Structure 1
Protein backbone atom coordinates (compact mmCIF):
# COMPACT_ATOMS: atom_id res chain seq x y z
CA UNK A 1 0.00 0.00 0.00
CA UNK A 2 1.24 3.46 -0.89
CA UNK A 3 2.19 5.67 2.01
CA UNK A 4 2.72 9.43 1.87
CA UNK A 5 5.83 8.89 3.99
CA UNK A 6 7.56 7.20 1.05
CA UNK A 7 7.54 10.41 -0.99
CA UNK A 8 10.10 13.09 -0.09
CA UNK A 9 8.65 16.34 1.26
CA UNK A 10 8.25 18.91 -1.50
CA UNK A 11 8.40 22.68 -1.10
CA UNK A 12 6.43 24.82 -3.56
CA UNK A 13 8.34 27.80 -4.90
CA UNK A 14 8.93 29.87 -7.99
CA UNK A 15 12.54 30.09 -9.06
CA UNK A 16 14.18 30.39 -12.46
CA UNK A 17 17.08 28.53 -13.97
CA UNK A 18 18.60 26.94 -17.04
CA UNK A 19 18.99 23.41 -18.34
CA UNK A 20 21.26 22.20 -21.11
CA UNK A 21 19.44 19.48 -23.03
CA UNK A 22 19.99 18.25 -26.57
CA UNK A 23 22.88 20.65 -27.17
CA UNK A 24 20.55 23.58 -26.47
CA UNK A 25 20.07 25.85 -23.47
CA UNK A 26 16.48 26.15 -22.19
CA UNK A 27 14.97 28.39 -19.53
CA UNK A 28 12.94 26.72 -16.77
CA UNK A 29 10.76 27.77 -13.87
CA UNK A 30 11.04 25.55 -10.79
CA UNK A 31 7.59 24.76 -9.40
CA UNK A 32 8.65 22.64 -6.43
CA UNK A 33 11.78 21.12 -4.95
CA UNK A 34 12.66 18.24 -2.67
CA UNK A 35 15.88 16.70 -1.40
CA UNK A 36 15.87 14.33 -4.40
CA UNK A 37 14.83 16.58 -7.29
CA UNK A 38 12.63 19.28 -8.78
CA UNK A 39 9.52 19.72 -10.88
CA UNK A 40 10.19 22.36 -13.52
CA UNK A 41 8.21 24.03 -16.27
CA UNK A 42 9.99 24.45 -19.59
CA UNK A 43 9.78 28.10 -20.69
CA UNK A 44 9.87 27.57 -24.42
CA UNK A 45 9.70 30.50 -26.79
CA UNK A 46 9.68 28.13 -29.75
CA UNK A 47 6.33 26.84 -30.96
CA UNK A 48 7.79 23.57 -32.27
CA UNK A 49 8.86 22.23 -28.84
CA UNK A 50 6.53 19.51 -27.61
CA UNK A 51 6.83 16.22 -25.74
CA UNK A 52 7.92 14.32 -28.85
CA UNK A 53 10.69 16.88 -29.46
CA UNK A 54 11.90 16.46 -25.87
CA UNK A 55 11.88 12.66 -26.08
CA UNK A 56 13.92 12.86 -29.29
CA UNK A 57 16.46 15.10 -27.51
CA UNK A 58 16.69 12.59 -24.66
CA UNK A 59 17.27 9.52 -26.86
CA UNK A 60 21.03 9.57 -26.33
CA UNK A 61 20.96 10.33 -22.60
CA UNK A 62 18.44 11.36 -19.97
CA UNK A 63 21.11 13.20 -17.95
CA UNK A 64 21.00 16.98 -18.40
CA UNK A 65 22.96 19.90 -16.97
CA UNK A 66 21.08 22.07 -14.50
CA UNK A 67 21.81 25.59 -13.22
CA UNK A 68 19.66 27.37 -10.63
CA UNK A 69 21.41 30.68 -9.85
CA UNK A 70 18.91 31.88 -7.22
CA UNK A 71 19.56 28.74 -5.14
CA UNK A 72 23.23 28.51 -6.13
CA UNK A 73 22.80 24.96 -7.41
CA UNK A 74 24.57 23.53 -10.44
CA UNK A 75 25.17 20.02 -11.67
CA UNK A 76 23.51 17.09 -13.34
CA UNK A 77 19.97 15.77 -13.13
CA UNK A 78 18.09 12.93 -14.80
CA UNK A 79 14.80 13.54 -16.60
CA UNK A 80 12.48 10.94 -15.07
CA UNK A 81 9.13 12.20 -16.36
CA UNK A 82 7.73 14.63 -18.95
CA UNK A 83 4.11 15.78 -18.66
CA UNK A 84 1.90 18.29 -20.46
CA UNK A 85 -0.51 20.30 -18.33
CA UNK A 86 -2.61 23.03 -20.00
CA UNK A 87 -0.06 23.57 -22.79
CA UNK A 88 2.79 23.70 -20.27
CA UNK A 89 5.62 21.17 -20.49
CA UNK A 90 6.61 19.89 -17.05
CA UNK A 91 9.87 18.06 -16.39
CA UNK A 92 10.46 15.92 -13.30
CA UNK A 93 14.21 16.00 -12.65
CA UNK A 94 16.07 13.79 -10.18
CA UNK A 95 19.36 15.16 -8.85
CA UNK A 96 22.43 13.08 -9.74
CA UNK A 97 25.47 15.28 -9.11
CA UNK A 98 24.65 18.67 -7.59
CA UNK A 99 26.98 21.19 -5.99
Structure 2
Protein backbone atom coordinates (compact mmCIF):
# COMPACT_ATOMS: atom_id res chain seq x y z
CA UNK A 1 0.00 0.00 0.00
CA UNK A 2 1.52 3.34 -0.99
CA UNK A 3 1.85 6.25 1.46
CA UNK A 4 -0.92 8.33 -0.15
CA UNK A 5 -3.42 5.47 0.02
CA UNK A 6 -2.44 4.65 3.63
CA UNK A 7 -2.93 8.29 4.74
CA UNK A 8 -6.33 8.41 3.04
CA UNK A 9 -7.43 5.22 4.85
CA UNK A 10 -6.20 6.63 8.18
CA UNK A 11 -8.21 9.81 7.59
CA UNK A 12 -11.35 7.81 6.74
CA UNK A 13 -11.01 5.78 9.95
CA UNK A 14 -10.26 8.75 12.20
CA UNK A 15 -12.55 8.75 15.30
CA UNK A 16 -13.50 12.41 14.73
CA UNK A 17 -14.46 11.92 11.10
CA UNK A 18 -17.84 13.45 10.47
CA UNK A 19 -17.83 15.79 13.49
CA UNK A 20 -19.06 19.12 12.20
CA UNK A 21 -19.93 21.03 15.36
CA UNK A 22 -18.49 21.76 18.79
CA UNK A 23 -19.63 19.29 21.47
CA UNK A 24 -19.78 21.33 24.69
CA UNK A 25 -20.32 18.14 26.73
CA UNK A 26 -16.72 17.13 25.96
CA UNK A 27 -15.21 20.50 26.91
CA UNK A 28 -13.74 21.41 30.27
CA UNK A 29 -14.95 24.96 30.76
CA UNK A 30 -14.32 26.94 33.91
CA UNK A 31 -15.36 30.40 34.97
CA UNK A 32 -12.10 31.01 36.80
CA UNK A 33 -8.53 30.61 35.57
CA UNK A 34 -6.81 27.64 37.17
CA UNK A 35 -3.45 29.23 36.41
CA UNK A 36 -3.50 32.99 36.95
CA UNK A 37 -1.71 35.11 34.34
CA UNK A 38 1.72 36.39 35.30
CA UNK A 39 1.54 40.19 35.39
CA UNK A 40 5.08 41.50 34.95
CA UNK A 41 5.32 44.80 36.80
CA UNK A 42 9.06 45.02 37.46
CA UNK A 43 12.08 43.56 35.73
CA UNK A 44 15.72 42.99 36.61
CA UNK A 45 18.56 43.25 34.07
CA UNK A 46 19.78 39.77 33.14
CA UNK A 47 23.37 40.49 34.19
CA UNK A 48 22.13 41.55 37.63
CA UNK A 49 19.92 38.45 37.95
CA UNK A 50 22.91 36.27 37.05
CA UNK A 51 25.15 38.08 39.53
CA UNK A 52 22.56 37.75 42.34
CA UNK A 53 22.02 34.05 41.61
CA UNK A 54 18.35 34.57 40.66
CA UNK A 55 19.19 33.12 37.24
CA UNK A 56 21.91 30.57 36.50
CA UNK A 57 23.81 29.97 33.28
CA UNK A 58 21.69 26.86 32.61
CA UNK A 59 18.31 28.46 33.45
CA UNK A 60 15.79 28.00 30.63
CA UNK A 61 14.38 31.30 29.40
CA UNK A 62 11.62 32.41 27.06
CA UNK A 63 12.98 35.51 25.34
CA UNK A 64 10.82 38.09 23.58
CA UNK A 65 11.65 41.34 21.82
CA UNK A 66 9.26 44.25 21.57
CA UNK A 67 10.08 47.80 20.45
CA UNK A 68 13.81 46.94 20.42
CA UNK A 69 13.55 45.93 24.11
CA UNK A 70 14.40 42.36 25.12
CA UNK A 71 12.64 40.55 27.95
CA UNK A 72 13.56 37.10 29.29
CA UNK A 73 10.98 35.11 31.25
CA UNK A 74 11.77 32.02 33.30
CA UNK A 75 10.20 29.01 31.62
CA UNK A 76 9.75 27.53 35.10
CA UNK A 77 7.31 30.37 35.89
CA UNK A 78 5.69 30.15 32.46
CA UNK A 79 5.09 26.41 32.91
CA UNK A 80 2.76 27.36 35.77
CA UNK A 81 1.18 30.59 34.55
CA UNK A 82 1.07 29.79 30.79
CA UNK A 83 0.37 33.50 30.08
CA UNK A 84 2.48 36.54 30.95
CA UNK A 85 1.71 40.14 30.17
CA UNK A 86 2.94 43.62 30.89
CA UNK A 87 4.33 46.69 29.18
CA UNK A 88 7.64 47.36 27.46
CA UNK A 89 8.48 50.98 26.66
CA UNK A 90 4.84 51.93 27.29
CA UNK A 91 3.46 49.30 24.88
CA UNK A 92 1.43 46.31 26.09
CA UNK A 93 2.64 42.79 25.37
CA UNK A 94 1.36 39.29 26.06
CA UNK A 95 3.02 35.92 25.56
CA UNK A 96 1.71 32.39 26.10
CA UNK A 97 3.43 29.05 26.51
TM-score between both structures, scaled by the size of structure 1 = 0.28
TM-score norm. by structure 2 comes to: 0.29
Q: Which has the higher helix share?
A: 2
Between structure 1 and structure 2, the one with the greater Rg is: 2
Q: Which has the higher strand share?
A: 1
